[in-house]
Structure 1
């Protein structure tokens, strides 16, 4: 499998998944999970320690989009090697006047997941999930599990099947 981790079917190790993630992981038969050191959950440290290429590590970024005094939230999936165009592509796609990274306390409270482990699997209903075209095309990607102590491995196309998912070019040129 990928890196030096011991990957097991995710639906057999629900203890490695945040509650909202575990509630839907059964719908992802190709998903595997692996336990990691929670102090190494941040992408660069994780990839270096466990031998996972940055090119298959996908980050979930929670965006707060504002328009007319109303705030809506969205999740964006982008490869660790790319930078997301929040103020251009994301803001325009969401029809917002202003878009920014959601504060950590809001992101964790709204998702029911730990910071550094937020994932698009199990997000609140109605949230748009913008999946970068490179993530969607990847044979496999490593994403968060909702917890800092584990990761999920699945095909990039599995993210496109999540409710509210759309494939767009999110990376800055």
Structure 2
């Protein structure tokens, strides 16, 4: 598929962050999870898609957002196709009932997820976090997302993202 060598994810848990491997082992939904080893220097979306001939339309980004209100901070994950951007100051802020919302600082995102920056994925996140998924992601036959580490990518059915326990599919999440 594309320019990737794809293997069953559970056969290559060495290519996954531990929290991601645990989430995939416990997965009860439909769909096969595949993994592909990549050059970690090419983990960022644009470089990855160019090198491995993966269309941006099937690559999904997972960003961690911090919503703040009255001294309280709520973290959430947003998953949007690489051809779009999450509407952090509109849809996400309102959905989190936050006064202000912004991308979480890199060090906080890494510490809170247990994943490498550039490899953060919606699978294996803390169970208290909402995972906000743009509807367009779930409509793709397959999407490429992070694996928790920079040296690989997961290939999963788009509909699988709606099956994450705390997932909420939101039309208009992405612009």
What are the superposed Cα offsets for residues 44-72 of structure 1, whole Å, 9 maximum, x if unpaired? 00000000000000000100010110001
| Misfit runs of 4+, over 2 Å | none
Aligned to 2:21: 22
Aligned-pair RMSD on alpha carbons?
0.9
Residue 171 (str. 1) matches residue 174 (str. 2) = yes
In the TM superposition, 1:1-173 aligns within 5 A as 1=1, 3-26=2-25, 27=27, 29-169=31-171, 170-172=173-175
Q: CA deviation at 1:84?
A: 1.3
TM-score, L = length of structure 2:
0.96
* TM-score, L = length of structure 1: 0.97
- Give 5+ residue unaligned stretches, structure 1: none
User: Partners of 1:163 and 1:119 in 2: how far apart?
Assistant: 14
Per the TM alignment, residue 83 of structure 1 is displaced from its structure 2 partner at its CA by 1.5
Aligned residues: 171
Aligned partner of residue 68 in structure 2, secondary structure: strand
Q: Any idea what SS the aligned residue of 2:119 has?
A: coil
- Output one character per residue of 1:108-131: Cα deviation in whole Å (capped at 9) or x when no partner: 000000000000000011100000
Q: What is the alpha-carbon distance in structure 1 between the residues aligned to residue 167 and residue 120 of structure 2?
A: 16
Residue by residue, what CA displacement relative to the aligned partner does 1:5-31 show, whole Å, maximum 9, x if unpaired?
110000110000001001111216511
Structure 2: how far apart are the matches of 1:171 and 1:120? 16
What is the DSSP-based 3-state SS (H/G/I as helix, E as strand, rest coil) of the residue aligned with 2:92? helix
